[in-house]
Structure 1
Amino acid sequence: MPRTAEEISHALLDAARTAGAEAADVMVTQGTSVSVEVRSGKLEHAERSEGTDLGLRVFIGKRQAIVSSSDSRPETLAAMAERAVAMAREAPEDPYAGLADPSEICQSLDAGALELCDPTPEPSAEALMQDALAAEAAALAVAGVTQVSAAGGGYGANSIHIAATNGFSGGYRRTSRSISCVAISGIGTGMEREYDGDSRTWQADLRDPAEIGRIAGERAVAAQGARKPATGSFPVLFDERISSSLIGHLLGAANGAAIARGSSWLKDALGEQVLPAGLSVIEDPHRPRVSGSRPFDAEGLPTRRRAIVENGVLTGWTLDLASARKLGMRSTANAARGISGPPSPSNWNIAMTQGTASRAELMRDMGTGLLVTSMIGSTINPNTGDYSRGASGFWVENGEIAYPVNECTIAGNLRDMLLRMVPANDARTWLSRVVPSILIEGMTLAGN
């Protein structure tokens, strides 16, 4: 009989102790995924995968080593442990490495309230294909759409278990369900590509595939005839689809690993105003049915709701154990890790305070400027916050969309940009990052 992720994790810990590890932790995942793609009304690609992955981290004093495998046989576990211990004995010392103190680890392990796993049966490949076909048909029904380059459906289920020699042992199961569609309008050099999609924890929450296809088609048609905008200083409205990237830059600069290295444009900003007064950025890893939710982090510490920015003021860093020790602080229970790497700080569910105006009202107020709906590439100076990105979207005149634009660059300094931001009220509250459209005055725009 196949062993559970919990059983494998404890067997691997036993093997590590036998091999001579002074301390160790283990992460085991068991997953299933199914994906389907269609093209021109026919099945294009179907794939199903199942697997078990396990990672072992061992400590010899302040020396650590990590090994991973997809083989959970007893002889493989023994070999993994022996190799990891041998590697740790040759590794350089890291004064900040080590497991959590037993008094810190998560004691309440019930993940049921988070509703991370949809109890309904796994959808069949046929059901996924029908969703993809419905999305494709809806996109093609939009006048001006010439083809659908991709339409697909997917499902995934994963069991995760983490255990350590400090006494921590906990796990949970997570599901995901998705539909996506990429539509193309025009022909030849006049083709424009746009998309829409949805990914949810529960099947019942998933948007209608026909709606997804229709929106992808309408977006592709709206992008027809794009041209370069004027060069100068203009207000820029970041559409809700991409506005979370701005908050992502703030979160990256407040990451404890960057702060400990001294390579962050926010390194001296703790306790200072970084957003307009009245705006907060809240992290809540306990929101039900959301992909970023979890009862504990990758080091077994209990996760909790916290304010990263409160009333515009930066209140703290995002820390795992190692970065917290380097900075003389306590972990914020934000350790994330993969099977083959050590923990590092990462954010869970994020929500920024929404405004009172709609996107249309912000666009009316901006008068003439750029509505950005997609961005490519980036040049971000981690030490100064200087910001430059390629962008496309729509030129706005007299508060209304005038024509689509592409091949332009927007630039500024993130510290200044974030202090000037004005949020709309249109954030999608089911996302892991709940950030509305954001208007920023006086950005540099390079076009014609």
Structure 2
Amino acid sequence: MDMEKIAKSIISKAIQSGADECDVFISIDEEFSATIKDSEVESLKQAVTHGLGIRIFKDRKIGFAYTTNFSSHIIQKTIDEAISLAKNSTPEPDNQLPQIYSHAQTQVKIFDPDVFSISVEQKIKIAKEIEEIAKAFNPKIKVESTGFGNLIQRRVIANSNEFFGEYEGTIFEIYCSAIASDNAESQTGYYSSVSRLFERLQTPEHVAKNASIRALQLLNPKKIKTGKYPVIFDPMTASAIVSYIATAVNGKNAYRKMSFLSDKIGKRVGSEILTIVDDGCLEFGIGSKPFDDEGIQTKGKAVIENGILKMFLLDSIIAKKFSLPPTGNAHRKYNTIPAPSPLNFYIQPGYKTLEEMISEINEGLLITKLIGFGVDIVSGNFSKGASGLWIKNGEISFPVDKITIADNLKNILRNITSIGNDLIFFSNIASPSILVSEMTVTCD
């Protein structure tokens, strides 16, 4: 299918049908996944999904409709539906297409042509190898599942302001979910590697061993006293903290006063050593793309810089409500309208190793697993179940389990006293290890 021809035809038909302005978003995903259990293929999936969404602007009203059928008749029906919905919606002064003053597109590397040369047999072999390595690593380890997945993404965006853009990206992932057992007790450990490039995936050995170690190190936990202690979050758990910050700096939440960071632009919200970046141009970044889902060119920017909140993440309509330019963070699926979303959103790494950070603690915790929900973005209140390792006199002492760590995200950001050099991207939201000087720890 000629996606450019389809997209431009939709724009032309929509304007002829009475739209003042319009845009179209087309997505095509080719997905593969293989799951291994006990040396056998437990599940195998290969699928192509596609769809297109049409957003109509009429008298500052918005109508939206989508379809997975690309036939000319159904597309016209979808256009008519979107126009009808626009006519019956509520007008807002900010409802209009973004003004794209430059149609230059960032050159960002996100596609790996090797995706076409890796056979299904090779992908299954890699997943089986992960399982074999994990099983051989320690007799206490059983493997819940291992897997290999890849995704080819194609995106096409066009609007009535004569913007047209398209790009392709790839994502690869391997993972291991391990169970460590000792007598009647068991603990789980999970580890994955995600990359835009196949050759940049971590080795099956690295993934298998890390999942096994994360499970084994939690066996035979001991009780600790409830109290206030310094807490280190490793890269996997720290990324969860960063995801809550990404939600808090979402311009839509901030505008609706549904974020603890609303009205904090230009104010100190974190430690002086804390800088959080959102970068859509990061080479081979999981969230990288040449333009956002409204056609705005992506860029790198500091959202929090040395503890000062510099900006919110904005799409074009939310940006108008703040009287600011859009930040290139519009995200949509074919069946949704654009909304702000992070690209590659991460804490800028420091210089210390995790071992050096541990050595600085007299008594405290290294968190390796977070459990459940318990986070209120409006107030910033944070309370989650956790597991990890007790630190005594600068060394790992014993595992702890079934604990609760609590504080407010405002305090967590301000009390970050050390940042590691071990930044790892498990998704588009990432972090190195971080040390929070004090949190309330409750032992069940």
TM over 0.5: yes
Per the alignment, do residues 323 and 241 of structure 1 end up closer, same or farther by CA in structure 2, a change over 3 Å counting? same
One-letter amino acid of the counterpart of residue 85, structure 1: I
Tell me the secondary structure at the aligned position of residue 236 of structure 2: coil
Q: Residues 103-142 of structure 1, C-alpha deviation per residue, up to 9 Å, x if partnerless?
A: x254113x5x421110224222111100000000000002
How is 1:404-443 mapped onto 2 (pairs within 5 angstroms)?
404-421=399-416, 422-428=418-424, 432-443=428-439
Tell me the secondary structure at the aligned position of residue 301 of structure 1: coil
Q: Aligned-pair RMSD on alpha carbons?
A: 1.8
Match of 1:119 in 2: 113
| Matched-pair contact (CA < 8 Å) for 2:115–2:170 | no
Q: CA deviation at 1:432?
A: 3.5
Q: CA deviation at 1:231?
A: 0.9
Q: Residues 165-208 of structure 1, C-alpha deviation per residue, up to 9 Å, x if partnerless?
A: 11111010011111111111116851211111111111111111
Matches of 2:175 and 2:101 in 1, distance apart?
Answer: 39
How is 1:271-350 mapped onto 2 (pairs within 5 angstroms)?
271-350=266-345
How is 1:81-160 mapped onto 2 (pairs within 5 angstroms)?
81-101=79-99, 104-109=100-105, 113-122=107-116, 123-160=118-155
Q: CA deviation at 1:431?
A: 6.2
One-letter amino acid of the counterpart of residue 57, structure 1: R
One-letter amino acid of the counterpart of residue 437, structure 1: S
Matches of 1:134 and 1:145 in 2, distance apart?
Answer: 18
Match of 2:15 in 1: 17
Q: Which moved more, 1:280-289 or 1:233-242?
A: 280-289
Matches of 1:74 and 1:189 in 2, distance apart?
Answer: 62
| Matched-pair contact (CA < 8 Å) for 1:144–1:221 | no
Match of 1:222 in 2: 217
Tell me the secondary structure at the aligned position of residue 384 of structure 2: strand
Identity within the alignment, % = 28
Match of 1:39 in 2: 37
User: Which residue of the other structure, out of 355, 362, 371, is the alignment partner of 2:366?
Assistant: 371
Q: Residues 226-283 of structure 1, C-alpha deviation per residue, up to 9 Å, x if partnerless?
A: 3443211111111111112223322322221112112221123211122222432222
| Matched-pair contact (CA < 8 Å) for 1:35–1:125 | no
One-letter amino acid of the counterpart of residue 306, structure 2: N
Q: CA deviation at 1:434?
A: 4.4
| Matched-pair contact (CA < 8 Å) for 1:57–1:67 | yes
Matches of 2:375 and 2:363 in 1, distance apart?
Answer: 26
Match of 2:441 in 1: 445
| Matched-pair contact (CA < 8 Å) for 1:368–1:398 | yes
Tell me the secondary structure at the aligned position of residue 360 of structure 2: helix
Unpaired stretches in structure 2, ≥5 consecutive residues: none
Matches of 2:380 and 2:290 in 1, distance apart?
Answer: 33
Matches of 2:184 and 2:361 in 1, distance apart?
Answer: 32
Per the alignment, do residues 408 and 121 of structure 1 end up closer, same or farther by CA in structure 2, a change over 3 Å counting? closer
Alignment length, in residue pairs? 442
Unpaired stretches in structure 1, ≥5 consecutive residues: none
One-letter amino acid of the counterpart of residue 63, structure 1: K
Structure 2 residue 194 is matched with structure 1 residue 196: no
Per the alignment, do residues 417 and 224 of structure 1 end up closer, same or farther by CA in structure 2, a change over 3 Å counting? same
Structure 2 residue 77 is matched with structure 1 residue 79: yes
One-letter amino acid of the counterpart of residue 266, structure 2: G
Matches of 1:132 and 1:105 in 2, distance apart?
Answer: 47
Matches of 2:285 and 2:95 in 1, distance apart?
Answer: 31
Q: CA deviation at 1:59?
A: 1.5
Per the alignment, do residues 318 and 121 of structure 1 end up closer, same or farther by CA in structure 2, a change over 3 Å counting? closer
Per the alignment, do residues 245 and 121 of structure 1 end up closer, same or farther by CA in structure 2, a change over 3 Å counting? closer
Q: CA deviation at 1:337?
A: 1.1
| Matched-pair contact (CA < 8 Å) for 2:246–2:345 | no
| Matched-pair contact (CA < 8 Å) for 2:178–2:215 | yes
Matches of 1:55 and 1:211 in 2, distance apart?
Answer: 41
Match of 2:226 in 1: 231
| Matched-pair contact (CA < 8 Å) for 1:26–1:162 | yes
Per the alignment, do residues 21 and 176 of structure 1 end up closer, same or farther by CA in structure 2, a change over 3 Å counting? same
| Matched-pair contact (CA < 8 Å) for 2:175–2:193 | yes
Matches of 2:191 and 2:164 in 1, distance apart?
Answer: 39
Match of 1:360 in 2: 355
Per the alignment, do residues 390 and 342 of structure 1 end up closer, same or farther by CA in structure 2, a change over 3 Å counting? same
One-letter amino acid of the counterpart of residue 191, structure 1: S
Match of 1:70 in 2: 68
Q: CA deviation at 1:370?
A: 1.2
Q: CA deviation at 1:143?
A: 1.4
Q: Residues 61-81 of structure 1, C-alpha deviation per residue, up to 9 Å, x if partnerless?
A: 121121111110111111111
One-letter amino acid of the counterpart of residue 421, structure 2: N
| Matched-pair contact (CA < 8 Å) for 1:145–1:183 | no
Q: Which moved more, 1:379-388 or 1:59-68?
A: 379-388
One-letter amino acid of the counterpart of residue 185, structure 2: G
Per the alignment, do residues 340 and 270 of structure 1 end up closer, same or farther by CA in structure 2, a change over 3 Å counting? same
Q: CA deviation at 1:319?
A: 1.2
Matches of 1:228 and 1:45 in 2, distance apart?
Answer: 40
One-letter amino acid of the counterpart of residue 118, structure 1: D
